[in-house]
Structure 1
Amino acid sequence: MINVKAGSVTFQNVRKTFGAFTAIHDLSLTIEPGTLVTLLGPSGCGKTTTLRMLAGLEHPTSGKILIGGKDVTMLPANERDVSMVFQSYALFPHMTSLENVAYGLQSSGLAKKEAREKAEEGLKLVGLAGMGHRLPAELSGGQQQRVAVARALVLEPQVLLLDEPLSNLDARLRRRVRTEIRDLQQRLGFTAVYVTHDQDEALAVSDRIIVMKDGEIAQSGAPRELYEAPASPFIADFMGEANVLPCEVIQSDAGEVLVRVSNLEHRLQSKAAQGPAKLAVRPGAIRIGAPHAAGLRGRVLHSAYLGGHVEYEVETDVGTLFVIDHDVDHAHAAASDVTLAFKNRGIAVISG
């Protein structure tokens, strides 16, 4: 029986430098037990350094790290009660799947028979029952990834760490395996810290997303909150792409505002104050119509049919907008004059 011991994670004013370079600036965050939290951001933002400090593979220059309320700041990796699933899976090629899963158990002193029984249970847990005799080379990429997850889980860690676990898989397999990881986490209730640069992946698996930029937290919140209420142009564009436009808030009352973008006015839910602001508009939140319709005037620069939708680049007097339209039967050709209007969802007033 695999017994999950979901622990909390706390970073208290953690700073990490490499020579004159500061990778992490005064990081403070708390991860609740039994949640899956994703560290998301572009390359060089500090997410992997944060994960490595949690794993004990790096030590902070200053500050504290606690797991389950225990200060582990300077403890080595093998004393932290965490397990890690690496990007490369790091399976021993000469060992079978069962032997790979049992390896950590036997290394920690568990009797060989018990280790094998627990390893078999771990493989069953990830849907690989009866495949323990296979070598890693005899498994698909998705199956290798599941062996790596089983190997980590059978150690019954307080926290499971996943470092870009799906990056070696093709797009279709990534979608399937991320669903399996999320289902497993919810079923067992373990605490997981998941690192990725893929926004769709983060939105699909997370209870909470921490977006990092230049070694700091840019915004933290539930997936829907980050997508629908970005706090900055960086978050708006990074979390699913957005057109960031200059606007004027001309009315603000009871949580609703009226904004003006060029000749187009639009009402939406927001607590923004009156005055100049910026509007984040998702590509799918723009309605593209004929040139005689009311709206923001524009001209199609590029039009691309992608099966289920058409992608446009439309030149307007507030900049070039990226538009996604699912009306593939009435596509607008390049050089066409069009008008643009906003839908009710996928639009947010943001600061700075």
Structure 2
Amino acid sequence: MKSNHDKGSVVFDHVIKNYGDVTVINDVSFRVEPGNLVTLLGPSGCGKTTTLRMIAGLEHASAGRILIGGKDVTQLPATDRDVSMVFQSYALFPHMSVVQNVAYGLVASGVNKQEAHAKSEDALALVGLHGYGERLPSELSGGQQQRVAVARALVLEPEVLLLDEPLSNLDAKLRRQVREEIRELQQKLGLTAVYVTHDQEEAMAVSDRIIVMNKSIIAQEGSPKTLYEEPNSSFIADFIGDANLVDVEILDRANDRVNVDIAGLQKYLPAREFSLGPAKLAIRPDAIQLTASAGNQVGITGNIRHATYLGNQMQYDVECELGSLFVVDYQFKQGLIAGSDVQINFADRGLVLVKAN
């Protein structure tokens, strides 16, 4: 018996997926809570799309269990799972009108055309496309076509909505707009959604939780804030937002903080699980403070190799004792140019000790 606690949930229980001798999903377990939007994030080939396709029933697990709404669906075909998928390519029928595209799944499942048409018009209104039903897909913009694809998935009233790289065919500005629309709609309807992307910013913007995958396993999962501020490895630190990974020395420990030597500068940081001795430090680009060298300033001496103006920020590549540092400055306190000598200091946040792997 499934409980209301399970309704809309998705559970992977020690799932393995093999293609011949190749393991593409290796003993993966997680739970998506009802009403949450959880993103599967990771580099190409990490297993995130295969995981999504296994939820949909388009791929089948070699071992382990998959549950949707508390029901074991591991061996069920896609047609017997209460899920709908929004594809990267939209997959709209070019010869059908917009409303016919949205109604297609309903009609195919036996709903009469009049009822299917009415429900499809309601779904189009939900995604902001009221009055667009009689147009052809070719008469819509890319963002509007993506919303039609979302409406087609929503009209089936699925227990779980699956989105496979839904914004990858849109330009950057439109991606921001449509991802906000998808997130707002998901929260408004209380949908359980599993979202796949390789775009870290997109994942941070839409997710309640992020599951980061790497090399067929889960590298870390948590809220966007947790993954950014408490990465459990150098891979996560570098993948979730840029990070400069440098060698440091932990000098001493006092309760839950450690004194870290960063090329002669000392900072007290959260100890986490680290002990005294060599360690890796992840430094966010905007945690690095640069000032023009003058007098007897405290800091690490560096030299700007490249300076790039990007409108709302300056980006610098700085050579110093720590190696090459990537720096982002949103303040524009002073104009630093390539070739300038600078003193490097660090903010109180944006520095975190990480495992080297």
Normalising by the smaller structure, the TM-score range is: over 0.9
Alpha-carbon distance between aligned partners in 1 of 2:176 and 2:191, rounded to the nearest angstrom: 21
The match for 1:128 is 129
Of the three residues 278, 281, 296, the one matched with 2:280 is: 278
With 266-275 and 54-63 compared, the bigger mean Cα shift is at 266-275
Q: Secondary structure at the match of 2:122?
A: helix
Is 1:320 equivalent to 2:320 in the alignment? Answer: no
Instruction: In structure 1, give the amino acid aligned to 2:340.
Output: S
User: For residue 330 of structure 1, what is the amino acid of its counterpart?
Assistant: Q
From 315, 336, 347, the equivalent of 1:343 is: 347
2:301 corresponding residue in structure 1: 297
Structure 2 alignment gaps of length 5 or more: 1-5
The residue aligned with 1:218 is 219
State the shift of 1:185 in Å. Answer: 0.5
- Tell me the residue number matched to 2:3: none
The code of the aligned residue for 1:94 comes to H
Q: TM-score, normalised by structure 1?
A: 0.96
Matched with 1:87 is: 88
Q: Is the 8 A contact 1:6 1:191 kept in 2?
A: no
The aligned runs of 1:39-58 (5 Å cut-off) are 39-58=40-59
**Structure 1, residues 257-280: CA drift from partner, whole Å, max 9, x if none?**
221111111123343333221111
Tell me, in whole angstroms, the C-alpha distance in 2 between the residues paired with 1:6 and 1:202. 24
- Taking the aligned partners of 2:54 and 2:235, their CA distance within structure 1 comes to 26
How far off is 1:85 after superposition?
Answer: 0.2
Structure 2 equivalent of residue 38 of structure 1: 39
Q: What is the distance in 1 between the residues matched to 2:271 and 2:106?
A: 53
Note the 1:232-243 alignment, pairs <5 A.
232-243=233-244
Q: Please give the residue correspondences for 1:123-272 in structure 2 after superposition, counting only pairs within 5 Å.
A: 123-271=124-272, 272=274
**Is this contact kept in 2: 1:270–1:348, CA < 8 A?**
no
Q: Which secondary structure state, in structure 2, belongs to the residue aligned with residue 200 of structure 1?
A: helix
Alignment identity in percent? Answer: 60
- Between the aligned partners of 2:7 and 2:188, the Cα distance in structure 1 is 12
The letter of the residue matching 1:290 is A
Match of 1:333 in 2: 337
**Offset of residue 329 of structure 1:** 5.5
Cα deviation code 1:204-232 (max 9, x no counterpart): 00000000000000000000000111110
Gaps of at least 5 residues in structure 1 are: none
Tell me the CA shift for residue 83 of structure 1.
Answer: 0.2
Q: Is the 8 A contact 1:219 1:235 kept in 2?
A: yes
Q: Which residue number in structure 2 is paired with residue 287 of structure 1?
A: 289
User: Under a length normalisation based on structure 2, what TM-score does the superposition of the two structures give?
Assistant: 0.95
Distance between the aligned counterparts of 1:303 and 1:276, measured in 2?
31
> Where in structure 1 do 4 or more consecutive aligned residues deviate above 4 Å?
none
- 1:139-188 deviation per Cα after TM superposition (whole angstroms, max 9, x unaligned): 00000000100100110111100000000000000000000000000000
Is the 1:40–1:211 contact (alpha carbons within 8 Å) kept by the matching residues of 2? yes
**Aligned partner letter, 1:301:** R
Moved more, 257-266 or 77-86: 257-266
Q: C-alpha separation between the residues in 1 aligned to 2:306 and 2:239?
A: 23
Aligned AA (1:250): L
Looking at structure 1, the residues matched to 239 and 172 of structure 2 have their Cα atoms a distance apart, in angstroms, of 19
Structure 1 counterpart SS, 2:130: coil
